């Protein structure tokens, strides 16, 4: 069976990917600097699957450590989740975001080339579309970002395209995520952000569990049905299934293969609050706040290319996504701590 290096494998999406790969019989090696993750997630994945993970604590900027990992393990493919991901924080720390996200990816690619590993599945983002001209968004839509986080993802995509055009040994899957939510059905692993969450759903769930007093809704004057921002939310387990499907393509076909991973449905912030209150039977108090810099009105996917080429389709409904979120949060009010 294949061996995967999962960068950022202790994080939210990475840990769910590790679980799926282990369940499918893969050998899994994880590197994570634990800057926005907890090693407890890996321990729980091992408990859930009854299988072990080779874990290395460190940054992908550390080429010596990466080289040690590639020397010790016969890696077939890298699932690349490591990266900072907060839009707002990227606006206040642009240099750090480019250094960590772009610099880390370059270090990883450099070591992969040295060890002749030419398969990589990259966590990109719908933020590369910026404020879209048309929705739903296809992979052919113009890319234009509104913040350094999105720009760091787009720069990496451009690097992968350049490398692939000049060296036919490489195969890349570029997966443009919409908004990952939910948790594994066991409630044992889920999203556990450091400090105050930057994303809507963990913020809602922390208000519902009593950890935070009130949800701030940033802007109610957008050109949307209820004035609040509309996004495409996708269950994290659907998302990681897309990665496993992408491997089936890149293991036999070189080049860059780009896919949207979303449901194709848009939900407003108020839709999310109402649905969460319904499934959790908890009140989520909120107050309207000014718009945030870098935010846009509406963003949802056209996922038909992933359906056609990968045979992939999101299965979970919004209620199921939020029910799984609540199961994780209510079982783990303090996250992994």
User: What angle, 0 to 180 degrees and rounded to 10, lies between the N-to-C axes of helices 63-72 and 104-114?
Assistant: 40
Is there a domain that residue 138 lies in? yes
Is there a domain that residue 238 lies in? yes
Q: Which of 129, 149, 177, 222 is catalytic?
A: 149
Is there a domain that residue 91 lies in? yes
CATH of the domain at 145: 3.40.50.720
Is there a domain that residue 193 lies in? no
51, 104, 114 from 99: Cα distances, Å: 34, 7, 21
Clarify whether 97 is annotated catalytic.
no
Q: Which pLDDT score is estimated for 15?
A: 98
Number of domains in the chain: 1
Tokens coding 49 = 């699957």
pLDDT by residue (tens digit) across 100-114?
999 999 999 999 999
Is there a domain that residue 189 lies in? no
Per-residue pLDDT band for 203 (boundaries 50, 70, 90) equals: very high
pLDDT by residue (tens digit) across 140-153?
999 999 899 999 99
Distance between CA 44 and CA 165 in Å, rounded? 41
CB distance 314 to 238 below 8 Å: yes
CB distance 325 to 181 below 8 Å: yes
Domain with 238, as residue range(s), is 3-182+233-262
pLDDT by residue (tens digit) across 236-273?
999 999 999 999 999 999 999 999 999 999 999 999 99
Per-residue pLDDT band for 1 (boundaries 50, 70, 90) equals: confident
Q: Which pLDDT score is estimated for 9?
A: 98
pLDDT by residue (tens digit) across 52-88?
999 999 999 999 999 999 999 999 999 999 999 988 8
Is there a domain that residue 310 lies in? no
Q: Above 80 in pLDDT, residue 336?
A: yes
CB distance 235 to 324 below 8 Å: yes
Facing residues of 85 across strands? Answer: none
Is there a domain that residue 328 lies in? no
Facing residues of 301 across strands? Answer: 137
DSSP code at position 290 = P
Is there a domain that residue 299 lies in? no
């Amino acid at each position: 069976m294949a061996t995967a290096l999962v960068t950022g494998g202790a994080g939210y999406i990475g840990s769910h990917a590790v679980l799926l790969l282990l369940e499918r019989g893969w050998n899994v090696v994880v590197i994570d600097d634990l800057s926005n993750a907890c090693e407890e997630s890996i321990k729980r994945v091992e408990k859930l699957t009854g299988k072990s993970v080779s874990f290395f604590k460190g940054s992908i900027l550390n080429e010596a450590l990466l080289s040690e990992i590639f020397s010790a393990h016969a890696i077939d493919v890298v699932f690349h989740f490591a990266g900072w991901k907060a839009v707002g924080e990227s606006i206040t720390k642009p240099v750090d975001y480019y250094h960590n996200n772009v610099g880390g990816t370059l270090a990883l690619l450099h070591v992969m080339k040295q060890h002749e590993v030419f398969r990589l599945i990259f966590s990109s983002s719908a933020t590369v579309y910026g404020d879209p001209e048309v929705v739903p968004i296809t992979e052919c839509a113009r890319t234009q970002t509104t913040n350094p986080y999105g720009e760091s993802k787009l720069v990496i995509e451009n690097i992968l395209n350049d490398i692939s055009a000049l060296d036919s040994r490489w195969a890349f899957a570029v997966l443009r995520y919409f908004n990952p939510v939910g948790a594994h059905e066991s409630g044992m692993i889920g999203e556990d952000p450091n400090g105050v969450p930057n994303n809507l759903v963990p913020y809602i769930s922390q208000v519902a569990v009593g950890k935070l007093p009130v949800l701030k809704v940033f802007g109610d004057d957008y050109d949307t049905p209820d004035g609040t921002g509309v996004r495409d939310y996708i269950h994290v387990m659907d998302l990681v299934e897309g990665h496993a499907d992408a491997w089936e393509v890149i293991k036999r076909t070189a080049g860059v293969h780009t896919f949207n991973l979303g449901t194709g449905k848009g939900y407003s912030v108020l839709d999310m609050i109402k649905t969460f209150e319904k499934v959790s039977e908890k009140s989520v108090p909120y107050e309207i706040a000014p718009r945030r810099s870098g935010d846009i009105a509406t963003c949802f996917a056209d996922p038909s290319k992933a359906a056609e080429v990968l045979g992939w389709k999101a299965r979970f409904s919004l209620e199921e996504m939020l029910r799984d979120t609540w199961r994780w949060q209510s079982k783990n009010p303090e996250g992994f701590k």
